[in-house]
Structure 1
Amino acid sequence: MKFYKEAKAKELSQNTRIFAEVREIIERVGKHGDIAVADYNVKFGGAPAASFRVPQSELERAYDEISPELRGAIERAAANIKKFAELQRDSLWPLGEVEVEEGVFLGHSVIPVDSCCCYVPGGNHPLFSTALMLVIPAKAAGVPRVCAAVPPMRGSVLPHPATLAALKAAGADEVYAVGGAQAIAAFACGTETIAPVAMIVGPGNKYVTEAKRQVYGKVGIDFIAGPSEVLVIADDSASPTVAAADILAQSEHDCDAAGILVTTSERLARETEAEVTRQLADLDTAETAAKSWEENGRIIIADSLAEAADIANEIAPEHLEVNVKEPFELMGLLRNYGSLFIGEGSAEVFGDYVAGTNHTLPTMGAARYTGGLSVMNFLKVCTFQHITPQGAAKLAPDAETMAAEEGLTAHAKAAAARIRKI
């Protein structure tokens, strides 16, 4: 293995300023409610508003006024996302009573969370596709109250029309024009007009991410997500044009994004690097993409595809593309990734928008221990037991013995109470 292009070294220190600023926002929203949220909305670019709640009529108007081409694309994406979410949901079955020994019956129920907030970023681009990726799985899971928080456009009281249209197509129950850490705080703590939720999901900037970290425990979250990543495994059969295009598709997200090529071909490494430079010349987002590629982009030449798989497993990227002649032969070696794209036709951008798998994925190596957002995030698998008097008589002596050994006398007595007076 050798590095053809290395990323610049980064300082791995905690940003204490962001931590302190987010903590102050959460405390202010918890104490002052709507007034604090309104102040932060205006401070960060929105206009003063009489209400954060976006009327259903605005969602319908946005849906009707977007172009037919965009409306058709949103509907197709929504249909595929819903279909896949329902297939995933139906793969998780409740477990009825099973007798594990005489008189001891165990099982589990699959129960949706009571409510959730889907945070849809605004920022530099209206990421309306994220509205579909978050709301549709929550609805497929059967969550009774699915809310969405979206930053208003700069100088406006409303989010971008395309995002409102996507939320209409996804079926969000409540939509609020609130963004940033103040939105996370509002849905975790509750305000006069925003009822708290059980769970908050969705990506965001550093402030949103830190806010999710700080409210975790008070509410559930999906995971802590960082900058976007793609890793392309490619051999000599791959197209440098495609590899470069996919690297730049990630690089344009922001200056912290990472595009990585791991290849067994030095020719492909050389040609892909040249293609990145060529394609940057015609890219509207070239300023961001070029900086991202310069600072975070990597090209690694592996001695074999097996070594390339080992490198990918170590990095555990958000998106993993396998652009090799026989991609299915490599699949068995790959373990750590947010989502896998098999073969050169499986563009990561298809997963971002219309294929149907979710694009809300773990980053920064978190794919070593978790997968991406899915309908499963909104479902609780809750166990139950039903033990007959005969079963209790069989279990009580062992439970009493174990409790006594741990020094938990009341536990021991509770077990003994099932078979004798105490």
Structure 2
Amino acid sequence: MATVSAPESIVARLAYVKAPTRDQIADNSQVVATVTAVLKDVRERGDAAVREYAKKFDGAELDRFEVSAVDRQRAVDELDVQTRSDTEFAIANVRRFAEAQLSTIQPLEIEPYPGLHLGHRVIPIQRVGAYVPGGRFPLLSAPIMTIVPGKVAGCDEVVACLPPNAHRAMIAGCHLSGADRIFLIGGAQAVAAMAYGTETVPQVHKIMGPGNAFVNEAKRQVFGPVGIDQLAGPSEIFVVADASGDPELIAADLLGQAEHDVRTRVGLITTDRALAEATLAEVERQLNVLATAKVAELSWRDYGEIVVCDDEAAMIAYSDHVAAEHLQVHTKDPHGFGAKLRNYGSLFIGRNASVVYSDKNVGTNHTLPTMGAAKYTGGLWVGSYVKIATHQWLEDKAIRVVAPPAIRQSDSEGLEGHRKAAEIRLRRLG
């Protein structure tokens, strides 16, 4: 297995109190082969193939994939009062934040030269697909994060797919979040159905949402004719902390994320060895009483790390190298320190800002870049559901300005058709 090491400029300034035993996901060649076959089959045979894979992978035999309006409402009615209230609280917060973000994306019109008009429009994507993972637990926030921003953005249609064996509350969550259509299709076959369309599932223009290794690989393979939000690997959380860090809080936050998956990457980056050692001991103590320790302990054993840095500069450099999905700042001046960081999916400033709040209901999106992708992109947001499409129009007087250099450039490039297209317009002006 290949490893991804810290840059040499940082290595000499690091000391591991706990080093990870694994640095990346194992070879997934079998996943690639399986997904390739599923995509080809669904593309060629549509619903029939989807139905067979539902039985093979999910043990579900369905006459129809789409959840009817009656069953959608029944799923909502089955929610207990508190769960429905909490779900609607989270939906309201995500919607409010998405609306605020959308208000910052403005159309543009400029006139750099008299008569030359340039601009762009903000155009909602017509139809998007939201993959809603099933998982070991019913993640009630998952449909909220992928469906609500699409409705706020103004997409004509948001199509949701979730595994046939997903908890009924997940159907309710899709309905309350505003999904236009809901299908009980999971895994790579769901991605294929949305990407290519079937007899019953409409073809979408972009697919959003995280999933397992098969979903991720399917998104990778269909990308091109259909868009995707990002490729999401196992979850990650890192905490950067100085001597003011609280080992009990840090350990609780690390394990809170580690219980997601045995491949979750969790870590502490600090300048204080005493904090590092205290956090190590605290993680072990909390694992002894954690109900989900069976998963969290494997994650901690294989992917957990605690790094002690020589100074603040090394801590910042190593954090930016990791580019964690979730990055918590536990320092004396968390706002000042946070402003120095640049590579993260979402930043949690101060000890009160636990990932759990963002995961569930504060309003920021929990679908975020992993595996170092935060070095070049942010997470899912309302802007993921719109296109910024440019336009231009010219008055006659602008042609006199732009045509001569365009003609000369086309001529130097040997592109006669380009040159003539510019010349004819200039000539008609006399």
**Normalised-by-shorter TM-score class:** over 0.9
| Superimposed CA distance per residue, residues 152-180 of structure 1 (whole angstroms, 9 cap, x where no aligned partner) | 11xxxxx3111112112211100000000
Query: How far did residue 18 of structure 1 move?
Result: 1.4
Root-mean-square deviation over aligned CA pairs: 1.3
- Conserved 8 A contact 2:23-2:303: no
For 2:414 and 2:376, locate their aligned partners in 1 and report how far apart those are by CA, in whole Å: 35
| CA drift at 1:66 | 1.4
Could you tell me which of 15, 36, 55 is aligned with 2:68?
55
Report the residue type matching 1:375 in the other structure: V
Does the 8 Å contact 2:25/2:263 carry over to 1?
no
Residues of 2 paired with 1:130 and 1:44: CA distance? 21
2:137 is the alignment partner of 1:130: no
Query: Please, which moves more after superposition, 304-313 or 81-90?
Result: 304-313
Name the structure 2 match of 1:143.
155
- Matched residue, 1:304: 311
Alpha-carbon distance change, 340 to 38 in structure 1, aligned in 2, over 3 angstroms = same
Instruction: In structure 1, give the amino acid aligned to 2:225.
Output: K
Q: How many angstroms apart in 2 are the aligned matches of 1:393 and 1:329?
A: 52
Worse-matched range after superposition: 371-380 or 233-242: 233-242
Moved over 6 A (4+): none
Q: Give the Å deviation of 1:20.
A: 1.5
TM-aligned CA distance change 1:347 to 1:383, over 3 Å: same
Corresponding residue of 1:386: 393
> CA 1:188–1:297 in structure 2 vs 1: closer, same or farther (change >3 Å)?
same
Aligned residues: 415
Structure 2 residue aligned with 1:34: 47
What does residue 193 of structure 1 align with? 200
Residue 221 (structure 2) aligns with:
214
What residue in structure 2 maps to residue 17 of structure 1?
A: 30
CA distance in 2, matches of 1:286, 1:3: 23
Is the aligned partner of 1:111 residue 2:123?
A: yes
Conserved 8 A contact 1:120-1:128: no
1: CA distance, partners of 2:74 / 2:234: 33
Query: Residues 64-109 of structure 1: CA distance to partner in whole angstroms, max 9, x if unpaired?
Result: 221212111111111110000000000111113x211021011111
Q: Could you tell me whether the CA contact under 8 Å between 1:306 and 1:333 is conserved in 2?
A: no
> What is the CA–CA distance in structure 1 between the aligned matches of 2:270 and 2:19, rounded to whole Å?
14
Q: Distance in 1 between matches of 2:283 and 2:270?
A: 15
Deviation at 1:14, TM superposition (A): 4.6
TM-score, normalised to structure 2, is: 0.94
Q: Which residue of 1 aligns with 2:371?
A: 364
- Return the alpha-carbon distance in structure 1 between the equivalents of residues 353 and 69 of structure 2: 36
Q: Deviation of residue 16 (structure 1)?
A: 2.1
Written as runs of structure 1 = structure 2, the 5 A alignment for 1:9-408 is 9-10=22-23, 14-96=27-109, 98-153=110-165, 159-408=166-415
Q: Alpha-carbon deviation of 1:300?
A: 0.4
**CA–CA distance in 1 between the matches of 2:211 and 2:22?**
24
Structure 2, unmatched stretches of 5+, are 1-13
The 3-state SS of whatever aligns with 1:334 is coil
| 2:233 partner amino acid | G
Residue number in structure 1 paired with 2:421: 414
In structure 2, what residue type is equivalent to 1:224? L
**3-state DSSP class of the match of 1:419?**
helix
Shift of 1:147: 0.7
Shift of 1:304: 2.3
Structure 1's unaligned 5+ residue stretches are: 154-158
Which residue is 2:4 aligned to?
Answer: none
Contact in 2 for aligned 1:4/1:299 (Cα 8 Å): yes
Cα distance, 1:309 vs structure 2: 1.4
Find the aligned partners of 2:310 and 2:265 in 1 and give their Cα distance: 22
Contact 1:393/1:418, CA 8 A, preserved across alignment: no
Q: For residue 93 of structure 2, give the secondary structure of its aligned residue in structure 1.
A: helix
Give the TM-score normalised by the residue count of structure 1: 0.96
User: By how many angstroms is 1:56 displaced?
Assistant: 2.0
SS at match of 1:209: helix
